[in-house]
Amino acid sequence: MKIIVLVKQVPDTEEERKLDASTGRLDRAASESVADEINERALEVALRHKDSNKGSEVVVLTMGPASATQALRKALSMGADSAVHVEDDRLDGADIARTAAVLAAALRRTGFDLVVAGNESTDGRGGVVPAMVAEHLGLPLLSSLNSVEIGPASVTGEVGIEDGLLEVSAALPAIVSVTERSAEARFPNFKGIMTAKRKPLANLSLADLDLDLSVAGRTSTVLTISERPARTAGKKIVDDGTAAGELAEFLVAGRLV
């Protein structure tokens, strides 16, 4: 079985993120870039299946600038067999529609039995790319799974609902996305880190994908952005017998009651 895991390089969530006022896009140079943790959980799903099913193949796929290779190398060090990197200057600032179209084209070229992704990235928070990829490919989608079981011809999983858990399934090939409740990712060991340097990493451009950008064009445009207002000093109310009234006035003035 060939499982492809979608991974993404994102700005470190531990650092402050900034928007570029001139482009309206996230300023990725303002913080260190790391592999998105939710994608590592998706990779763990694939690796656990590979661990117990000899002959299974795990491939990681990303779309991004040259620096995104770092995220792929980490995935390879965790146990993925090979990687595919779609890199093209014309994809700079791609929105979710273009991203999904390009990923779908890369998946068609690579071939697969199952695609596993995180339910949403920590930078965009769109949460729709897996669904859009599935639509492009005409395949079933199991979205936001807390757990995944991969069989020879089907995939099943559990989705959290208001009253508990709902079990869902789909025949392969299929697309699934996982949540932060899914299995925690393993850490690369020294052997994995050294082996990753020798594992195959293919680079693809838009020309390789034979993709018409006029069809897979941007569908959204940022009109304007503004900085978040600075936090103002709080108001301290000392209880000298009138605190209740002052508190009520403060809440009313702030339209909090």
**What are the structural domain ranges in the chain?**
2-209
Global pTM?
Answer: 0.83
- Looking at residue 175, its pLDDT comes to 98
Give tens-digit pLDDT for 218-256.
667 777 777 777 877 777 888 888 888 888 888 888 888
End-to-end Cα separation, the chain, in angstroms: 58
Q: Indicate the Cα dihedral angle 159, 160, 166, 167, nearest 10°.
A: 30
pLDDT at 29 over 90: no
In the structure, what pLDDT confidence band is assigned to residue 108 with cuts at 50, 70 and 90? Answer: very high
| CATH for 2-209, options being 2.170.190.11, 3.40.50.620, 3.40.50.2000, 3.30.365.10 | 3.40.50.620
Query: How far apart are alpha carbons 143 and 118 in whole angstroms?
Result: 9
Residues in the chain: 257
199 CB burial (10 A radius; 0-12, 13-18, 19+):
middle
Q: How far apart are CA 15 and CA 238, in angstroms?
A: 36
- Between CA 11 and CA 14 the distance in angstroms is 9
Distance, in Å, from the CA atom of 175 to the CA atom of 131, rounded to the nearest integer, reads 8
pLDDT of 168: 97
